[in-house]
Amino acid sequence: MPATGEDLGRRLREGDLSAAPAVLNLVESRAPAHRDEIDALLRAVSPAALGGEARAHLVGVTGPPGSGKSSLLSHLVAAWRARERSAAVLAVDPSSKRSGGALLGDRARILVDPRDEQVFIRSMAAGGRLGGLAPATRAAAHALAAAFDVVVIETVGVGQSETEVAEVADTVAVVVQPAGGDVLQFLKSGIMEIPDVLVVTKADLGPVALRSRRDLNAALRSLGATETKVVAVSSLSPPAGFDELVAALDEHRGRLDVAARRLAARRASALADFVAEHGERGLRAIGGRRSALKLLGEQDAALDVPALQRALEARAAA
């Protein structure tokens, strides 16, 4: 008999990392009968059940296709494991139109020791959202944060992913290649939200990578983002720059108001889940996005995502 959502939540609270596959199978289920179990799971790992915010550092990793995110994550996970931190990676890929599943399969592209029980990697489908996050990804991140030290959400950076992953993650790292002019222009134009950390890959290219790092630092200074770090890494053997990257991610987390960030993340997830289920018509029934955010802001800060979503549904039905 499959484990219930409450059982899975209890196992995560107790630090049982082996529950992760069953958790992902549940949150990715489209069966209407599983909605109550997903709600029970999220209640079981809510701040009220945990006695505070979940332990994990939620890290969003995004960037253009081909920028080296998978190689970077292979070495970044190794750097976390060297520090005895457990890590879960949710790699969000474009969806297959036939099966609805993830197309690219990051489990094959992110290289880790398959015998290491402290590492969990799962490819997740974007669910038809171009570069965005499906409700299952948000639910999985909220749930796994109760048990792992680090939870990574990796997205294909094509438009809305930069802002959507920022709604879930504590820290967002944007990965760029040397001479990545597109990202530089996005920063200048304001299309892309200012990331918490910028990572230049292929530092082994020397002057080209150094110039990219300098240009990005200059762009951030012009925007007043003086606390945003730019880190250069190389995935060639021996890898380089990953200790500096871990330090930059940790530094951002250290100066973050985690409770406020997570509260905003739960409210954003509730709104995203509501829109995914009820569409723009449901959003209009509430009075639009601004009214929905106002309603969510009036709710008890201790409420979990399903309870917040039910508040929106109640207003839409009124």
Residue 155 has a pLDDT of 85
Amino acid at 176: V
Confidence at residue 107, expressed as pLDDT on a 0 to 100 scale: 45
Does the residue 5 lie in any domain? no
Contacts of residues 223-230 at CB distance under 8 Å and 24 or more positions apart, as own/partner, are 223/187, 223/188, 223/194, 225/194, 227/252, 227/255, 228/194, 228/195, 228/196, 228/197, 228/198, 229/197, 229/198, 230/197, 230/198, 230/199, 230/200
pLDDT digits (tens, 9 = 90+) for 10-66: 999 999 999 999 999 999 998 888 999 999 999 999 999 999 999 999 999 988 777
| Residues β-bridged to residue 61 | 154, 173
Q: Which residues, 6+ apart, have CB-to-CB distance to 133 below 8 Å?
A: 92, 126, 153, 155, 161, 164, 165, 167, 168, 272
Are 187 and 221 a contacting pair, CB within 8 Å?
A: no
Cα-Cα end-to-end distance for the chain? 39
Q: What is the pTM of this model?
A: 0.90
With tokens 């197309």, the residue in question is 103
* Domain residue limits at 107: 53-256
| Side chain identity, residue 21 | P
- Band (pLDDT 50/70/90 cuts) for residue 144 is very high
DSSP 188: H
- The whole-angstrom separation of Cα 6 and Cα 249 is 32
Which has the minimum average pLDDT: 188-192, 266-270, 293-297? 188-192
Kindly state whether residue 301 falls inside one of the protein's structural domains. Answer: yes
Residue 298 is assigned to a structural domain of this protein: yes
User: Tokens 């059940």, residue?
Assistant: 49
Do 245 and 127 lie in one domain? The reply is yes
Give me the CATH number covering residue 195.
3.40.50.300
The rounded distance, in Å, linking the Cα atoms of 53 and 311 is 22
Last residue of a domain, one of 256, 278, 308: 256
Q: Is residue 103 part of a domain?
A: yes
Q: Are residues 184 and 241 in the same domain?
A: yes
- Given 240, 256, 272, the domain boundary residue is 256
44 lies in some domain: no
Between 228 and 163, name the one with better pLDDT: 228
pLDDT of residue 94: 60
206 with 117, same domain: the answer is yes
Are residues 286 and 189 part of one domain? Answer: no
Judge whether 277 lies within some domain. yes
Encoded tokens for 112? 């880790």
Kindly state whether residues 291 and 157 are assigned to the same domain.
Answer: no
User: Same structural domain for residues 79 and 189?
Assistant: yes
At residue 63, what is the residue type?
G
Residue 2 lies in a domain: no
Residues 63 and 76 in one domain: yes
Q: Is the model's pLDDT at 140 over the cut of 70?
A: yes
Residue 15 lies in a domain: no
Structurally, the chain folds into a number of domains equal to: 2
What's at 100, amino acid-wise? G
Do 220 and 157 share a structural domain?
Answer: yes
